[in-house]
Amino acid sequence: MADDAPKKPSKIGALVPILVLTLAAGGGGALIGKQIVAMTRAAADKTAAPPEAAKPAAAAAGAAGGERVLKELAPVVTNLAAPDGSWIRLQTAIVYDKNDAPAMELVGRKVGEDILAFVRTLTLEQIQGASGLEALRDDLNERAQLRSDGKVRELLIEMLVVR
């Protein structure tokens, strides 16, 4: 009668499949990790060394005064259009070619005034989230390039605080 009793599963019988699956998952993860590292290194090597065709163009740009300068603008502190009582502090900088340096003092002030006028029309909802920040950056870049007749290469948002 002792033979008719159902057998209890052994602990080793339950551990073997778990051990096999764990080893398979670890091996698969290691293989994928090596592939990701190899692809990342290949991409880094490709961007670190420009192709031979691009080297003459880069040399010509450097010879033509392609050096860029970063100029910080005065911070803009103002209230937003909505909601009432919301304030913004925006610290920006402009990037321009070194050849345009003499005119950039006046252009920097004009761009700063334009930023102030534009920011006053914004609402908090317009600048919320990543897409709002990207839209703000694009709008400010466009305004800076228009105000400077294309001399400003890029406008950078260094700091943005909204209260």
Convert 35-92 into a string of H (helix), E (strand) and C (coil).
HHHHHHHHHHHHHHCCCCCHHHHHHHHHHCCCCEEEEECCCEEEECCECCCCEEEEEE
Q: What is residue 58's predicted lDDT score, i.e. its pLDDT?
A: 44
Coil, helix or strand at residue 96: strand
Tell me: pLDDT of 65 over 60.
no
Coil, helix or strand at residue 123: strand
pTM over 0.75: no
| Number of Cβ within a 10 Å radius of residue 75 | 14
Q: What is residue 37's predicted lDDT score, i.e. its pLDDT?
A: 86
Q: What is residue 33's predicted lDDT score, i.e. its pLDDT?
A: 85
Q: Which homologous superfamily does the CATH classification assign to the domain defined by 67-162?
A: Band 7 domain (3.30.479.30)
| Number of Cβ within a 10 Å radius of residue 36 | 10
Task: Enter the DSSP assignment of 149.
Answer: T
* Cα–Cα distance measured from residue 27 to residue 50, given in angstroms and rounded to the nearest whole number: 36
Q: What is residue 52's predicted lDDT score, i.e. its pLDDT?
A: 53
Name the band, by pLDDT with cuts 50, 70 and 90, for residue 53.
very low
ω into residue 9 within 30 of 0, thus cis?
no
